[in-house]
Amino acid sequence: MKLKNLINFDEQQQVFHLHNGNISYILGIDEGGVLSHLYFGPRIKNYHGQLKNPRKDRGFSDNLPEAQERTFSLDFVLQEYSSQGDGDFRNPAAIIRQANGSYSARFVYKDYKISFGKPQLDGLPAAYVIKKNEAQTLKIILEDQVNQLELILIYTIYQDYDVIARSVELINKSDKSVHIEKLASMQLDLPAGKKQQVISLPGAHANERQLQREDINAGTKIFESRRGTTSHQMNNFIAICDSQTDEFQGNIIGLSFVYSGNHKEEIEKDQYGATRILVGINDEQFDWEVKSQQTFQTPEVLMTYSAQGMNKMSDNLHRLMRERVARGKYKFAPRPILVNNWEATFMDFDENKLKPIVDEAKKLGIEMFVLDDGWFGHRDDDNTSLGDWKVFARKFPQGLKRFVDYIHANGLKFGLWFEPEMISIDSELYQQHPDYMLKVPGSKPSPSRNQYVLDMGRQEVRDNIYNQMTAILDSCQIDYVKWDMNRHLTDIYSPVLPANRQGEVLHRYVLGLYQMLEKITTEYPDILWEGCSGGGGRFDAGFLYYMPQSWTSDNTDAVARIKIQYGTSIAYPISSMTAHVSASPNQQTGRLTSMKTRGEVAMSGVLGYELDLTKLSSVDKKEVQAQIAFYKKIRSLVQYGKFIRLISPYDNNRCAWMFVSDDKNEAIVFSFKIMSEAQPAFEILKLSGLDADKTYKNLDTGAVIGGDELMNTGFYEPITQADFSSQVYHFKALAG
């Protein structure tokens, strides 16, 4: 297939135009070599120059060096990338400390290069191409001649995905070192206009990615993590939309940062009503030395635009993340239904106590048993043994292999929990290598969960953990690994770096982690890898690159999970979200919820169970068997179909979402009512994403309804006089 150019440069207008069938992104070379932003939105055929930045003499706005007139200032121009000290007083994208101590930098246009394909980012996860001609990349080279620095702005646009990937590379061509104190991965300056809002995903442990929407007003709004990871508290995704935008209509720009460490998303509305958006590594505790002739590459941002509301924006990101960020054997494979022993036994188990759970899992149709925390070292509680990845002999007296063979003999796969980035004081690893721990000299480190953090930026630390892990992985057939991380980073110091480079520790930690993940996941391609950080504390596109799914939250309460999974779906595909049925009353909230509702919330993700199967009543066992049998029928549709949000639990006493097959011949709808009411309304549910010309059969009732009817007239939902109720509707198109 020959690809039409997706990127054009108009020599006369000095304008770059990135475009595919649905979107356009336009930027131009302006006065003095300034790179100006012009447009991001629906596809336009040709640009005729009407959006050149207007000129006006603005008071207290600096002009370009040696300017003879006063109508052009970086203080109000919509730029593609800004730096501190160049006369733009808004939040800068770059702050660079020069060798002479100055913080001033002025980058102007030098050159460009357009190529097919998409370059890999050295040491960083990023979206990729399978065929070179499915995307084009623009590299724009800016230079600071005084300080001999080059800044390369990298843009990749896909032919079949409404996404532009952006990142930045700084090259030091001087003979002296410079220090980066801030280098955003992207800047987007939007002109003044109608009222805009920002959507973000804040939260807390066991309450991750709660949907937040607020007006953009004058000043700066910051969304960030300073915890060393993406964090439960603030995900590294934001969206900018018109105030009237909803799930099905309106303009919206989504921005997802492909990174798993400290991040910052800045929204600034300036004095003239324009909006600046910056996304990148958080500059707090960040200071990176770039020596002579060296480079620094920022992580990537995925930008998408939708004129059809939030669902379309999410679908753009879902498709790209499933198909061009996630990798490996399980990218499109059916994810197995598992049972995890954590909420059943915690660390109080041995081989004999676990076998009855395995036996019951086989009877119920479960496909995998996962052994969680407590199998290694001498770990009976969370005060010991992290860093000692050797089988706990008292719990498995004949080794792990005999238990794993027992599981496989019962027709189940086997999964195992690790927490590779952590260390306990009570461990052989600490006794042998106390310097492996992040710790400021002369200070006592801060425990969390009575554990500490390994310095993953160091090769020898990674090698030690890698060798221990692979010894276990090679000892028996392990089909799945849950990679956990149960605290944030403190005591930020590495003994292998000099004093003036301690600002590199946090980013080096992430780069070292990525190096280890790349190595181990590549060398063990048949293992299904799942990310976890106390639940959803490191749920991001960067981790998705190595692990196709992550534990969405430690909160397994079905009612709480409705909001968590709804919020997560704004930015991430369903195939990345694991969801488990747990006991009732729930261990996190104490809430009583029916097995039906628990199952149907969990079936809206990658289904699993996390309870003691041996203690289920006969009625619940039959319900679980039915859930598993049904999920196996719809598994491909749920995990890889088009996901559509219908009713938000943030605005209603109900929630609904649905999954539609690519050919629109099948749809599964989940509807939830939160609290019962004495005099409930008769409520209509309208579907979306179906073929209006097709006729669909409700597989439960046998009713036949047109696709146009299901989407426009909808149907009345049954009234249930119970809290936390749920309904499932399964439709298939009739032939002909």
Which residues carry out catalysis? 484, 554
Cα–chain center distance at 18: 25
Residue type at 231 in one-letter notation = S
Please tell me the number of Cα atoms within 13 Å of 459 on its side-chain side.
Answer: 0
Tokens of 541: 């596109």
- Name, in order, each residue with C-beta under 8 angstroms of 534's C-beta and a sequence gap of 6 or more: 205, 232, 484, 485, 486, 487, 554
Classified as helix, coil or strand, 416 is: strand
Q: Find the helix or strand (DSSP H, E) in which 274 lies.
A: none
Long-range (24+ apart) CB contacts under 8 A made by 686-689 are 686/646, 686/710, 686/711, 686/712, 686/713, 686/714, 687/646, 687/658, 687/711, 687/714, 688/248, 688/311, 688/644, 688/646, 688/658, 689/642, 689/644, 689/658, 689/660, 689/664
Q: What angle do CA 75, 110, 104 make, to 5 degrees?
A: 45
Decide: residue 693, CB within 10 A, 0-12 exposed, 13-18 middle, 19+ buried: exposed
Give the Å distances, CA to CA, from 27 to 30, 35, 175, 315, 645.
9, 7, 32, 26, 34
Q: Which of 232, 214, 215, 234 is nearest to 224 (CA)?
A: 234
Instruction: Taking the CA atoms of 346, 476, 530 and 510 in sequence, report the sign of the dihedral they define.
Output: positive
Tokens of 669: 């709808």
Do 56 and 96 contact (CB within 8 A), yes or no?
Answer: no
Q: Find the helix or strand (DSSP H, E) in which 363 lies.
A: helix 351-364
Length of the chain: 736
- Name, in order, each residue with C-beta under 8 angstroms of 329's C-beta and a sequence gap of 6 or more: 525, 526, 528
